[in-house]
Structure 1
């Protein structure tokens, strides 16, 4: 497959850096990096504004992603104040997606990450800022909102399984920046589709929600590397979209594509030229249905400040919630959240993918939101290992949700 070059080639987001007299510098000029204006306040204290992102109407500013690199700070106490955090969500001003509850992560190699501790963060409610204070143990340290999952990460995963007979990789279309929109099919090809249940899973409609890509990787590894997973492939077809917005992931985007459109808000009103991602994904679904193949369940994965399942009031959704709640100790005990008809009442082009697929095709389509804050069990923020471990549980949950 050798997808790394086409997936990760990027037009980098505007990033600012400034070097101090002591040689400390801050930058975000790499895949997935994103940061606004950087200002040195004192020798070891910096203010870093979040660049954020607005939509095609210059509304709904989202400031829920940052990922940057600090050089030259080994063994020096470092204070970074994150500013410009206030945004707008669904035309409601005042949302603050970055807070003390969502703990930043740091890494010295972009492979092993840890959350900052209670002693290393301080929230200032009056100024709406988040202050990070720690002493780097190495000359270079990366700081991010969540553990990043880039196009390169996905490319490496897909290259691992390129020779497997259970894996088929297709390109549904291309993004505005001409990256491939990938659709991965995982099943036992020797058993006819007519004898299996079909599940579509989608992640990263919003590029900042990196935890969802780790869940997808955990699911893929479970299906292909474990005996239980391979047994599922005799019974099910998995159609997987691991990164729905590769342009956003590459540039360190937040929520909107290159034309400023939310890829989870326009499934009832697709502008082909400006929303090629939704167009391609929707066409792939239509093509599948036109071949007389079923879609027994559709699930889109997202990250927010809570765990819950939402969708139409259908048996598949209630079973999905029950299985996920039992396996993930989800904080919500209220069961399936029954969806509204549209995200913003009275405004066209605001249906989510699960609203749109249910409305147009009566596909039982659901949203799974997963908490990026501290979770009850294991009483901490989720690590990469925790995100990956959700994948096998999700695979088993969708099996039960589609059972007769």
Structure 2
């Protein structure tokens, strides 16, 4: 190598190093000025390239466990450290929410806000949970779980209705804050409504439980697929799907669970506080009056590490026919969901939501429908685990597809309308 070539190589290497240093030296910043975002930044250490934070959110609008924000100022390929602490926000003399609700084993991240991945497993450091994220570009989205906002719900409903002649995009209602609540209605063929099974599927009565909306998406996508079971279900039933019930807290990044005066899933009374609940009740009552409230599914995510799938009323509180049909549906659903590979962690023992579960147990949606429905009504709450390596968009959608297949198999066993 000539002296000139050697000097040129040194200059080029120095320039590359200088450019890299200048790129890394850009200050890290946090943005949360978009739908669904929530964060309280505690510290940004520019030297360590780390961000300390806790969930944002108003505790009067639900448990402050949801977090979602964008980090900017990253050098492409740089690793950033996230240091998460549980929220200290509380109402009155109540204790702050346990930090475990805000600390998934793996955080969720995305380069573009569309395709979501999991980080490596976080590490506990005293009161902190520590994650690392390596971004491809100059910014990265990070979140408690894969976000699914009201805008995501609207996009999903519109996309599916445009792609299929059997689906119609509708609006359940307007929320108390004036937001649209998207709903997808599905049926195929000329069979009269009176001869169709009634199926109602709703998700996200608790805003932070984002995985439930992905389950609803998987249900809807399977329903509009070419699977023969899906075709049969479309031809024999009317199916309504609401991907996000609590649109206001989902949009504002609040937790929703235990919001004041009570959350959506404690609001199923004769005088509901929330517009979404009142509108859902009106639709469900109509199906009951027509004698065809066949399957009601309320989708949630459970406590940290809880693999329970179904929450049910005690058998003695149900009519015998409804209890027998419910048990058969659970059997089919467990069979379909457990066939997913790799398998989503699940328990085959439902939890009971009777009088000892909560003071407002009668106002829980699946309980209300079960107690007020037809003799053959199957009404269930499905809780899909959020704190596992399979708690991803793909994992959740797989659960939704399996659940929809179980609905089809179950209704195919019932007497024709």
Shift of 1:300: 0.4
Shift of 1:67: 0.6
The answer to whether structure 1 residue 355 and structure 2 residue 367 are counterparts is: yes
Structure 1: state its 5+ residue gaps.
1-19, 375-379
Q: Which of the residues 315, 324, 346 maps onto 2:324?
A: 315
Shift of 1:166: 1.9
**Is the 2:31–2:71 Cα contact (8 Å) retained in structure 1?**
yes
Mapped to 2, the partners of 1:257 and 1:276 lie a distance apart of 17
**Is the 1:263–1:278 Cα contact (8 Å) retained in structure 2?**
yes
C-alpha root-mean-square deviation of aligned residues, in Å? 2.9
Shift of 1:299: 0.9
Shift of 1:369: 0.5
Shift of 1:200: 0.9
Please say which of residues 256-265 and 363-372 is displaced more in the overlay: 256-265
* TM-score normalised over the length of structure 1: 0.81
Shift of 1:93: 6.4
Which residue is equivalent to 1:175?
A: 175
The answer to whether structure 1 residue 110 and structure 2 residue 108 are counterparts is: no
The answer to whether structure 1 residue 344 and structure 2 residue 358 are counterparts is: yes
Q: 1:206-221 maps to which residues of 2 (within 5 A)? A: 206-221=206-221
Which residue is equivalent to 2:41?
A: 37
Q: 1:43-122 maps to which residues of 2 (within 5 A)? A: 43=47, 44-55=49-60, 62-74=63-75, 75-85=77-87, 95-98=98-101, 101-118=104-121, 121-122=122-123
Mapped to 1, the partners of 2:356 and 2:363 lie a distance apart of 5
The answer to whether structure 1 residue 335 and structure 2 residue 339 are counterparts is: no
* TM-score normalised over the length of structure 2: 0.78
Shift of 1:288: 3.4
Evaluate the alpha carbon distance shift between residue 94 and residue 106 of structure 1 in structure 2; reply closer, same or farther with a 3 A threshold.
closer
Please say which of residues 303-312 and 163-172 is displaced more in the overlay: 163-172
Please say which of residues 250-259 and 43-52 is displaced more in the overlay: 250-259
Mapped to 1, the partners of 2:179 and 2:258 lie a distance apart of 12
Secondary structure of the structure 2 residue equivalent to 1:209 = coil
Which residue is equivalent to 2:401?
A: 392
How many residue pairs match? The answer is 366
Shift of 1:205: 0.8
Based on CA coordinates, which of the two structures has the bigger radius of gyration? Answer: 2
Q: After the TM superposition, which parts of structure 1 deviate over 6 Å for at least 4 consecutive aligned residues?
A: 86-89
Shift of 1:177: 1.3
Which residue is equivalent to 1:10?
A: none
Evaluate the alpha carbon distance shift between residue 81 and residue 269 of structure 1 in structure 2; reply closer, same or farther with a 3 A threshold.
farther
Cα deviations by residue, 1:120-145 (Å, 9 ceiling, x for unpaired): x2113x42x21123443321011011
Which residue is equivalent to 2:295?
A: 297
**Is the 2:345–2:385 Cα contact (8 Å) retained in structure 1?**
no
Secondary structure of the structure 2 residue equivalent to 1:215 = helix
Mapped to 1, the partners of 2:226 and 2:71 lie a distance apart of 39
**Is the 1:266–1:350 Cα contact (8 Å) retained in structure 2?**
no
**Is the 1:214–1:388 Cα contact (8 Å) retained in structure 2?**
yes
Mapped to 1, the partners of 2:209 and 2:367 lie a distance apart of 20
Mapped to 2, the partners of 1:223 and 1:150 lie a distance apart of 22
Shift of 1:97: 4.0
Q: Which has the higher helix share?
A: 2
**Is the 2:268–2:277 Cα contact (8 Å) retained in structure 1?**
yes
Q: 1:144-223 maps to which residues of 2 (within 5 A)? A: 144-163=143-162, 164-223=164-223
